[in-house]
Chain A
Amino acid sequence: DVKVTQSSRYLVKRTGEKVFLECVQDMDHENMFWYRQDPGLGLRLIYFSYDVKMKEKGDIPEGYSVSREKKERFSLILESASTNQTSMYLCASRSPGPAVSPLHFGNGTRLTVT
């Protein structure tokens, strides 16, 4: 079974802090994704990466950056956390292939910025 592991289940940070959210997958997937999930807004794509050292902006990249130095690890960085970044963050990985190749999600990191 594919396993996508997010380093923290809950995280509380202060406004202005630099925040790192870590994600590791164990299935050698080329594609990795960061989403945030908010009530009433659903899943929104922040950034994705097709391969190591490659990154593409998603629908809401402002205030975020990413790093992918190794194939199995994809990090989301909040350069200066703000209260509107309080959310559930979900990492996913996928093997490139058919369009219906599934996204495999981690269980999320609930970030609260105070």
Chain B
Amino acid sequence: EAQVTQNPRYLITVTGKKLTVTCSQNMNHEYMSWYRQDPGLGLRQIYYSMNVEVTDKGDVPEGYKVSRKEKRNFPLILESPSPNQTSLYFCASSLIFGTDGYTFGSGTRLTVV
């Protein structure tokens, strides 16, 4: 089944403890992206990747890192999480940037205390 898989689904952590949210797609998509969803703000793009080893900042990149060493994986790294990063995170992918809609993962609900 074609899908985008995120892990974990839920995570509670403490301020400053590094964490990684994984994202993997099995559709050979070139383009992958991370969004955070907050009430009243909709979805805001954190980082995106056009292809392997090509990543760039979105609208709200502060406090986040990403890497794209393989086509299928696009992990989101929070080196030192803070409470304002408490949010619902979605990974998404599309075959080629700009030509199609996204396939979204199931989301990761992160709480930083």
Q: Do A and B come from one complex?
A: no
Interface residues of chain B, those whose CB is within 8 Å of chain A, are none
